[in-house]
Amino acid sequence: MSHFSDKIDTVKQYLLQLQSSICTSLEALEPEQRFAEDNWQRPQGGGGRIRILENGSVFEKGGVAFSHVTGTELPPSATAHRPELAGAKWQAMGVSLVIHPRNPFAPTSHMNVRFFIAEKPGQEPVWWFGGGYDLTPYYGFEEDCIHWHQTAEAACQPFDPNLYDRLKAWCDDYFYLKHRDEPRGIGGIFFDDLNDWSFETCFAFMQSVGNSYIPAYLPIVEKRKDTPYTEANRQWQEYRRGRYVEFNLVFDRGTLFGLQSGGRTESILMSMPPVVQWRYCFEPEPGSPEQALLSHYLIDRDWLGRG
């Protein structure tokens, strides 16, 4: 197990460095506000380091969280697909972030990379990686969506030429609001339970995903952050943010795992947008940019134009 402890430590050091580099890159766009750091300890084992930026001129709210938590018994959400691990000791570590720009023409983004280890006495540790990123625009721009997906494909390409297509489909399927019958956004890539390759290759892929997030997202925010907008644009943004909240509270496995495992509520819910509204039976005007988001962007599409 000591040999495996070295691997765990290597992953942890990468994740801490990733959190710092992402925060530095995001702050480069923000004139004055900076990420505040909150270190916390979990009574049941482990802890984390959260960095939160609020009330920026570019980013209305952003949270970039590192956590490394341990437990003596896996919760139900983690063993639904692996019943043989019920009751195992476990460790989970990862970086998770959600960024909510102020400008309605700049999209919200989410990224997560994580590593999970389960152990039962007398058995080899069972480990897997997971993660991905997805984009939630409030107004659609073809070139932004294409850039986002091209960057995701480039992160997957060295590992398997067909990998992007599989993870894109997985993302589309996962970030879907069944009760609304609509996608949360324009997708990206999503993977979980990754242990098909060697530990080194799986870890390298997780790093490829984590390292490609800023190249995928920052150019889009730079392009859209100063776009003039009206109060009506802002109202639409706040209304669509409601879908984000609905997904996180109803479907998101990470949220459910955190709450079921006695996680820190403030950390788990840091992804929530700062200002949201729900309107009864609201429908955008036919032919409007708002309606175009629903009809042209929030649909199953091949953004790379290969089909």
Domains of the chain: 3-32+44-297 (3.40.1500.10)
pLDDT of residue 254: 80
pLDDT of residue 76: 66
Residue ranges of the annotated binding site are 96, 100, 110, 112-114, 149, 179, 262-264
Task: Report the sign of the C-alpha dihedral through residues 191, 194, 197, 198, in that order.
Answer: positive
Task: Report the sign of the C-alpha dihedral through residues 117, 120, 121, 127, in that order.
Answer: negative
List all residues 6 or more positions away from 175 whose beta carbon is below 8 Å from its beta carbon: 134, 183, 184, 185, 187, 190, 247
CA–CA dist 307, 293 (Å, integer) = 21
pLDDT of residue 1: 47
Residue ranges of the annotated binding site for substrate are 96, 112-114, 262-264
Residue ranges of the annotated binding site for a divalent metal cation are 100, 110, 149, 179
pLDDT of residue 89: 87
pLDDT of residue 53: 97
CA distances (Å), 304 to each of 65, 146, 188, 221, in order? 31, 6, 12, 20
pLDDT of residue 29: 97
Q: What share of the chain is helix, strand, coil (3-state, %, to 5)?
A: 40, 25, 35
The position carrying tokens 């102020």 is 102
Under-70 pLDDT residues of the chain: 1-2, 75-81, 307
Residues recognised as catalytic: 110
Tell if the pTM clears 0.85, that is, is over it.
yes
pLDDT of residue 224: 98
Residue type, 224: R
pLDDT of residue 79: 63
CA–CA dist 92, 277 (Å, integer) = 34
